[in-house]
Amino acid sequence: MSALGKSSVRLQGVYTVKALREFIGSLQLTHNTIALVPTMGNLHEGHLSLMHLAREYADIVVCSIFVNPTQFGLGEDFSGYPRTLLEDEALLEKQGLVHLVFAPEEKDIYPFGLDNTAKITMPGLSKELCGSGRPGHFDGVASVVLRLLNLISPDILVLGEKDYQQLILLKRLVRDLHLPVQIVSGVIHREADGLAMSTRNQYLSPAERKVAPKLYCELVKLSKLIKSGGEDCQTLVKQSLSSLETFGFKPEYIEVRRSIDLGKPMETESPDGLIILAAAWLGNARLIDNIQL
């Protein structure tokens, strides 16, 4: 049955681990399946599409809202990250697909404090691509997602494909630690002009907002050129990086990888099964995007 066919539900909010445990305990007695959509809040259409997907896969949808300090590096936007819990809850209430919002405080998630907490160290891939510009970021993501999985025991974990490297690393975490959860991913949601939806888009000035879709345009162009097989891939990537610079971006990287595991493809590899990933700064906004070939 599609999520739309299911009846609208009343949203409940819990803000402590104790209250969460009570809610989850009562669900386990009824043998309902649970899907978790982890978020940092400031919800937009992209998040809402993940709630939809979650509801297709499970009886109960839990949305966590927690701006996780351990995934932000020094000088990153942790303190300025938009916190809009009341608006988020109102949006979810209106959508009518989510049963529970879990919005804990930092001391609930990290009871021993941030300097004295157990942390997950993710393997090699976590230091490449986005990980090279954001050291420790994926260790922080894994550390919080593992805690959420332990607290909520969902059957399904729903993640967006915009954060593709995060998706692959969390799949790896689940397999590596034998976690009893199935990961389901939702496609990227885009604005009408192609810009991938993201909370950080609001850091763009009106002028930058007009330029921002060029990141996606460049990826589309690059993917067509790679598929047509004319020029060497590295040369094409260099051309794209310099086009982005011309438009005013400060690109961190554009890379072509295998979509299955983000491994580096061989030169002779066919374009099927490849993905292009990019991160670029535009003013104060760090934009990421990707496109599968």
Q: How far is it, in rounded angstroms, from Cα 168 to Cα 63?
A: 20
Which of 31, 47, 52, 189 is labelled catalytic?
47
Least distance to ligand PAF, CB of residue 47, Å: 9
**272-276, long-range: CB < 8 A, 24+ apart:** 274/226, 275/164, 276/219, 276/222, 276/223, 276/226
Does 157 participate in binding ligand PAF (rule CB under 6 A)? no
Least distance to ligand PAF, CB of residue 48, Å: 14
Q: Per the structure block, which two tokens stand in for 77?
A: 């936007």
Residue from 27, 91, 100, 141 binding ligand PAF (CB under 6 A): 141
Q: How far is it, in rounded angstroms, from Cα 128 to Cα 53?
A: 29
Residues in the chain: 293
Does 40 participate in binding ligand PAF (rule CB under 6 A)? yes
Active site residue 47: yes
Q: How far is it, in rounded angstroms, from Cα 206 to Cα 211?
A: 9
Does 71 participate in binding ligand PAF (rule CB under 6 A)? yes
Q: How far is it, in rounded angstroms, from Cα 144 to Cα 272?
A: 33
Nearer to ligand PAF by Cβ, of 163 and 218: the residue is 163
Nearer to ligand PAF by Cβ, of 39 and 240: the residue is 39
Nearer to ligand PAF by Cβ, of 160 and 251: the residue is 160
Residue from 39, 95, 185, 290 binding ligand PAF (CB under 6 A): 39
Does 68 participate in binding ligand PAF (rule CB under 6 A)? yes
Where are any strands of DSSP class E within 5-110? 12-14, 34-39, 60-65, 100-102
Nearer to ligand PAF by Cβ, of 111 and 273: the residue is 111
Where are any strands of DSSP class E within 118-260? 156-160, 182-186, 250-258
Does 145 participate in binding ligand PAF (rule CB under 6 A)? yes
Does 169 participate in binding ligand PAF (rule CB under 6 A)? no
Q: Strand 12-14 relative to strand 250-258: parallel, antiparallel, unpaired?
A: unpaired
First to last CA, the chain: 31
Least distance to ligand PAF, CB of residue 79, Å: 16
Of 225, 88, 58, nearest to 152 by C-alpha is 58
Does 198 participate in binding ligand PAF (rule CB under 6 A)? no
Least distance to ligand PAF, CB of residue 144, Å: 5
Least distance to ligand PAF, CB of residue 77, Å: 13
Residue from 11, 20, 24, 38 binding ligand PAF (CB under 6 A): 38
Most distant CA atoms of the chain, gap in Å = 60
**Helical pair 45-57 and 85-95, crossing angle rounded to 10 deg:** 50
Least distance to ligand PAF, CB of residue 123, Å: 18
Does 143 participate in binding ligand PAF (rule CB under 6 A)? no
Does 42 participate in binding ligand PAF (rule CB under 6 A)? no
Residue from 56, 88, 161, 163 binding ligand PAF (CB under 6 A): 163
Q: How far is it, in rounded angstroms, from Cα 27 to Cα 21?
A: 10
Task: Tell me which residues touch ligand PAF (CB under 6 A).
Answer: 38-40, 68, 71, 141, 144-145, 163, 166
Positions marked active-site: 47
